[in-house]
Amino acid sequence: MNWTKDEAQASNETIRLNPLVDSDADEFLQLYQANRVFLGPWVPTVDDEFFTLAGQTSNLLRMMALREADQAYGYGIRLVENNQLVGRITLSNVVRGAWESATLGYWVSQTSNRRGIATSAVALVLDLAFDVLELHRVQAAVMPYNAGSLRVIEKTGFLYEGYAPYYLRIAGRWQDHNIYSMTREMRQGPHDNSAR
Ligand SMILES: CC(C)(COP(=O)(O)OP(=O)(O)OC[C@H]1O[C@@H](n2cnc3c(N)ncnc32)[C@H](O)[C@@H]1OP(=O)(O)O)[C@@H](O)C(=O)NCCC(=O)NCCS
């Protein structure tokens, strides 16, 4: 892979991850409007302003600033075949020092579900996380009844760490989550937990 940290992007034969930029505001607005009901149960509650061009522009500008500050790396997920925007994936809460860690979030447009897009996007963002951004650990939190997301995390090889009650405020209430992780070491093979 031939990326520099500032030009970080990744692709395979189906999808491409592009760093979030404010010029994508129009396309994200259309996608969020079309998926507002679909995403509702699975994402933090956002206000009506989010579903306007100004709201999207401000969100994307914020993501660009966080990227510049080495605090979060967000990517639009696009189909290689026609450049269509179909989702978003983000490494947030980047902490350096002794932790070198980030949290993972993602969604794929309802009409593009069940085509392996989220699985591919997570695999690609893990390449970026470890090979480009030089992180050591990526954490995912999934609600225990989010069957699609649980399967994505399982297919991409994350380790189940435990159950976190009242972990994130999703759809307006504090909801329990399963916590999963992937570390640089675990990419080479399953974790040996015989020392437990
Ligand atoms: C969860 C989500 C990201 C899955 O995206 P996707 O692109 O459809 O996922 P994939 O096509 O890579 O599917 C991965 C696996 O999950 C399965 N799957 C996908 N959606 C599913 C669902 N609703 N119920 C059960 N299984 C599902 C697929 O069949 C596939 O399994 P398989 O390979 O064994 O057949 C997407 O439905 C979404 O954005 N949901 C709303 C937001 C969200 O939940 N984000 C994650 C928060 S942790």
Ligand 1 center–CA 194 separation, angstroms: 32
- How far does Cα 19 stand from its chain's mean position? 12
Ligand 1 center–CA 160 separation, angstroms: 18
> What is the reported pLDDT for 179?
98
Q: Is 32's C-beta closer than 6 angstroms to any atom of ligand 1?
A: no
Question: What is the residue extent of each domain of the chain?
Answer: 9-187
> What is the reported pLDDT for 5?
59
pLDDT one-digit tens code per residue, 56-113? 999 999 999 999 999 999 999 999 999 999 999 999 999 999 999 999 999 999 999 9
Q: 9-187 falls under which CATH superfamily?
A: Gcn5-related N-acetyltransferase (GNAT) (3.40.630.30)
Nearest to 128 by CA among 91, 177, 95: 91
Ligand 1, pocket-test mutation among 91, 103, 149, most atoms within 8 A of CB: 149
pLDDT one-digit tens code per residue, 3-62? 555 555 699 999 999 999 999 999 999 999 999 999 999 999 999 999 999 999 999 999
Ligand 1 center–CA 195 separation, angstroms: 34
- The CA distances from residue 60 to 14, 28, 74, 117, in Å, are 24, 9, 9, 22
> What is the reported pLDDT for 4?
55
> What is the reported pLDDT for 36?
97
Q: Provide the 10 A C-beta neighbour count for residue 71.
A: 16
Does the predicted TM-score (pTM) go above 0.85? yes
With a cut of 90, say whether residue 187 has pLDDT above it.
Answer: no
